[in-house]
Amino acid sequence: MLYLHEVNEAVAAVKTRVSGSAPDVAVVLGSGLGDFANRLEGVTSIAYGDLPHWPASKVVGHEGRLVVGTLKGRRVAALSGRAHFYEGHDLRTVTFAVRVMGRLGVKVLILTNAAGGINPSLTPGTLMVMDDHINLLGSNPLVGPNEDRFGVRFPDMSEVYSKRLRGIADAVAAEQGLRIGHGVYVAVHGPSYETPAEIRYLRTIGADAVGMSTVPEAIVARHMGVEVLGLSCITNAAAGVLPHPLNHDEVMEVARRVRDVFASLLEGIIGRL
């Protein structure tokens, strides 16, 4: 299968470039949250463009670099930036990096994102643990022939986001005196922000936060048996919640404001794994 071959070529390229043991934890860093990678020690940093078949990340706030190093005694891969469905990639391309992480032997995947708050209690700057998701992208990354070496044809999704990892996140937040929220994340296609009517619909079906990523990666990780934690940085109120227009600069500004707190939470979680 060509796709498996391409994934394995990227795995081999990472192993060639990175000395020491392979990472067993990976963190995908969303818009404006890439500074976490600077906390790793003894790092190897590789531009996505230097890895075979790895999709480029061209969105502002996504550096496009794989950083592998050590943190709290764990071998960690930090993916500073991701490819998005709205950039024109298919979902197999969007999830390519997660496939590579799974084949490298990663056991825990932490997915982070910037999201719009639908639930009024999730004000800008709040960090939200993802308890579940709703996929409104219009497709699924598992569509097409199944590669049994990745996972089964019909993977269970009754606990996409690990209860164990969510408990760890709560415990670390309590230790750090950090108030975090919990909720359901809905993934939409984008790249336009949602209309107020769409946000009313998303609230009605049970969504607390909305974004344009993460869900395909979570599905693919669970397909491969990787344990997943999802963390959203609420960077803006969704359309219609407040009476002003939305823009990406606001998203980036709020992400920058909370990046140190967010990085400390991630570091604490990894230290408890």
Work out the angle between the directed axes of helices 96-104 and 215-223 (0-180°, nearest 10): 30
Give the per-residue pLDDT at 33: 76
Rounded to two decimals, the pTM is: 0.94
CA dihedral sign, ordered 20, 104, 97, 208: negative
Say which CATH topology domain 2-272 has: Rossmann fold (3.40.50)
d(CA 77, CA 118): 31
Name the CA dihedral angle for 84, 90, 91, 94, rounded to a multiple of 10 degrees.
Answer: -40
Give every residue of the chain whose pLDDT is below 50, as ranges.
61
Q: Which residues are catalytic?
A: 31, 62, 84, 86-87, 114, 212-213, 236, 248
Q: Which residues pair with 110 in a beta bridge?
A: 27, 229
Give the per-residue pLDDT at 203: 97
Domain boundaries, the chain: 2-272
d(CA 46, CA 64): 9
